[in-house]
Structure formats: structure tokens, C-alpha cells
Structure 1
Amino acid sequence: MVFTPAALDRSGTFYVAGHRGLVGSAIWRLLEAEGFTDLVGQTSAELDLKDRAAVFAFFSETRPRYVVLAAAKVGGILANNTYPVDFLSENLQIQVNVLDAAVAAGVERVLFLGSSCIYPRLAEQPIREDSLLTGHLEPTNDAYAIAKIAGILQIQAVRRQYGLPWISAMPTNLYGPGDNFSPVGSHVLPALIRRYDEAAASGATSVTNWGTGTPRREFLHVDDMAAACLHLMENYDGPEQVNVGTGSDVTIREIAETIARVVGFTGATEWDSTKPDGTPQKLLDVSKLAAAGWTSSIGLEDGLRSTVEWYRAQAGALRQ
């Protein structure tokens, strides 16, 4: 049976796993704006995705037609390097439970979200989808990467064994409203926003960042990511994961300078080269995504300004 992607039924039950997270909340906002009328979301307190029996019961009762698996345990270099067992075990449990339950419930379309860290540390730049499993991973987040690779392979296995048109997408570094700004658990961009904003507010004369500032990173606003997800569900079908990004990158030093300017910090920036840099460059080849008819539209500085505004508006309500 040949599956032809088409517009999703706006009245179909749509479960967003991880709907309170950075990506999930953006997808939820977009689906609401697009007129989806039967959105389903469960907080971790309402449904522990590591509880297999509870997940199967939820799918049996809800019978979603569409699923985006955006739920995951995530963190930056420090968290990934410090708690590799947690990142491997918890993400594997979440993925296996949700995807197995989705098979049992006969879910029509599933989009699994991974991470660009699935690719080899020294992959040729920009990184093509076929670079997967061709080299060694970045040691500081290899446990998380292995879990995400397992998710991609499970999607491919479901396609082979059951013939279901499920797909995977691999976002680049994401940022925007709903991000984690914790000093310990955040990724590089929100960590820098918090650090520079606090420095500007306190009148500090300098800020110290990890590493040398030379690694290059690609950043995509989460609202762009949400738009790409819906576009892929309606326009793409294939076993290979699809890279989602902007197709351009900047150095960590450049992003730090931009953030300092946006938040109004005028002091000095120091770099602690005794701390790890992580992967030297991570730029995704987005030609497959472009061929499917989608490109990003939110510029980095504009996206940063709106993110800083959101961060400041949240005050004490942010995730710690």
C-alpha cells in the first residue's frame, strides 16, 4: 500500500507528547492556530511516559490519529556529561513505551523528534542525513544520542514491519519561548541569555563563558521548528530522518556578542578554555527539507529579541 502525504484532518485526535516543553508547546500553539480541535496533552504528573502500563492504557483510551513525540529528558553539556545513565535510560523508556503503544493503537501518523547530536562528532559539514552511524559520537552527550538513534531505528522498524507511514525529524539547536533557562540544565543559548541578562541587571563588569567560543552552532527558533513539523507530517514520507535547521551557523563567541547586545550588557566577556567546547561544528544540510518545500523564516537576532522579552516576562515562573 502506497501512502501519499496530505493535509491532516483538523478534527482528528492529535496527541503531543511533551506538550509543555520547548518544542511541544510550540507545536501545540501552531496546531491551535491551524484549527486542530481535538488536541491531547498530558503533563508528566498526569502521565509518566516511563510507566509502560499507564502509557498503553492512555493510548487505548485516547486512540489518537496523530502523534508527535516531543517528550524527552534533555540538557546541556554539563547535564549530559554528569548524568549519562539518566539520559540513556529515561529516553529509551519514553520512546519504547510511546512508540509500542502507538503501534498497538494503530496510530496513523507519528513524528519522532530527535537531535542533531545523533551525528558523528567529526561528520563532514554540513551534515547530511546519511552521515548517521558513520563515525564516533561526541563523548559529552553520547548516551542521549544513542537513545535518539534508537528512536530513529524504531520508526524505521515500524515502517518495515507494520507498513505505517511514520517519520523522524532531527532539529538543530532550538531556542525560543518555553526554553529551560536553568543554570545547570539548560542548553547554550538560554544559558547565555540568563547569564548576560543577570549580568546586565546587576551591573557586573564581566561575564565568563565555558570553552573558547570558537565552536560553530546553528540555531532555529522553535516556532519555525513547529511549522516544519506540521509541514513534514503533511508533505513528507520516507524512512530516513529529515534534518530541520536554517542551513547557516555562527560561532559561540558571535552568539554571545549578539545576546550581550540584545540584553544591554556592556561589560567584558571572558572565556574559560579549561572547560569543554563540545563538538567543533554542527551545521545541518537541510536540502532534503527544502526539497519537501519548507525553509526557515525567523532571523536569529529577531528570534533572540523575542526570546529575551519572553524570558524577562516570566520572571520567577521559569523552570529552574
Structure 2
Amino acid sequence: MNNYDVIIIGAGPIGLACGLEAQEAGLSYLILEKGCLVNSLYNYPANMTFFSTSERLEIGDVPFVSNNAKPTRAEALEYYRRVAVHRKLAIHLFETVESVTSQENLYQITTSKAQYSCKSIVIATGFYDIPYLMEVEGEDLPKVTHYYEEPHFYSMQNVLVVGANNSAVDAALETWRKGANVTMVVRSEGIGERVKYWAKPDIENRIKEGSIQAFFNSEVAAIRQHEVDIKTPEGIVTIPNDYVIAMTGYQPNLTFLEKMGIELSQDEIRKPFYDDKTQETNLPNVFLAGVICGGMNTHSLFIENSRVHATHIMDTLKKRFL
């Protein structure tokens, strides 16, 4: 069957939560995901530890038991996989939504594999798909990455880490502990205030003792095969370099929302319009859930404070369709 009450775009934790609520409400549904299951979490650093405790990451009243005070990426991946399998959620992975059109009272969705029609749509696409680019010469070299995975690869190499928040700090500390010669480039005057409380003093002490070199109030000026130019307050500094890990942050795919006709604020936040009580946008029966609701302000919503979006949406749809 290719006709549904609701199609959910995105199989991250909030997309899965929406699927669970749709299932509980008796709505016909399908979750579409362009990558793997909980694709954004999969792209987190391999050794990442969450800020939140495990119970604040739970969805669908399924307990999340962790061996640690703060769960790890590996534990989260296993938890959400078990939830999806145990609850037999209807999910199509590696299927990209290419277009959405409306016809009478239905929406037509064309993907990389099929076509579907539905009465309503939930967009829960997160923000981890589009990295902020440095827009400097050499950024397209193979040695530059905007996604850090694990540290062993960088052992005994000259590594430049760009950024000052959690991902950058994790990359710098982990690669340094695996024997990399690590340099950090930070646009601000210090390490970010949102860095995890157990990692912030660690990185600051490594910088203070000189184990990790850091250039503050600085930015990358150019990248070449074996070196990097850094623009500092004292002028250009050139250092040897084998790899660049650019942890410059990520942004939601707001262009996708605009193409659908969803209204965004005209300021720099570009926050989508939606009703706070139902999560419905200016388009009838099109809803937003999760981090995408914050527009460019990607630090305002997390798994723990947006799980409730799923309940709001499916309660609304249950009243309309059942």
C-alpha cells in the first residue's frame, strides 16, 4: 500500500518517536530516511558520550538501560535499533525524498525509489546533514573532513582541528591521545561554553601545558597538500599538516522546507512557522518535529525536550482522521 494517513520524513530519534505514536494511535504511517537508521547519531564521533542521562533519551516508553551515567553513541544506536525492530516500525531506509506536491486533499511524495500519497506529513529531518563550509582554498582536498569518526587513523599525523565546541574538543583530545600532533584553530577567544563539563578543563589544560597548540581569534586561510595557512591576530602562520578535521557545525535543510512552501522567519534564525500546540506549519496537515523546529538555532531543541512533539502531532491527526 502506498497510501498513508501520515508519512514521516526522517528516522532519527524524534522521527521514530513519531512512528511509535502513529502506531499507537492506529494511524497508517511510513517513515522515510535517506540514510541509515538514526543517521545523525551514526555520524557522531565513535566514542561520543551524551550530555543527557539515558532516561531522557527514551522514546515510546521503552526503557533505555545504560552501563554508564551518561550513555554512549554505541549504546544509543543499539537502543534505537532495538526499539525500531521490537516495535516493528514501518521504515524505508536509504530512500531520499525528492519532491512533495499537493493534489486535492492529499500530498504526493516522490522518492529515489517510489511514489506515495498521504493525508499528512511530519518532517523530522534534524540538522546534521549540511556542514558549514570554511570557504577557503583547499577545503575540497581529500584530507579535509567535516565528520570526525575515530582517532586511530590520525596517529602520528599532523592534525588541524577547526572549532571550539564539543565535536572539535572530542576530536582534538582523542587524536592527541592516539599520538597525533594536534593544532586547534578557534575563531573566538576561548573554548566554547557549551563544551561538556568533563571535557572543557581537559582541553584547556592540554592547551595550557602546550600538548595541544591552539590559535584563538584565528581562522584557516588556505589548505594545501602538506601545510595550512592560519590567519591569526599576529598575521599568517603556516604549519605542516596531513589532515584537517573541520568541526565547524551543521545546519538544517531549510531549502527543503521552502520548496514545500513552509514559511520561515526573515531574520538570521530562519525559524519555520508552526503552531506551538500542534506543531502544524502554514501548510495544512504538514507538521515539524524535533530540531528542525528551531531553524538555524540548532541548540534550542534536543531529543529530551522535543520527544513531546510526537504526541502533539499524533493526537491532532487522530482527531482529524479517525
Q: Is the pair's TM-score, using the shorter chain for normalization, greater than 0.5? A: no
Choose 1 or 2 for highest CA Rg: 2
More strand by share: 2
The alignment's TM-score, normalised by the length of structure 2, stands at 0.30
The alignment's TM-score, normalised by the length of structure 1, stands at 0.30
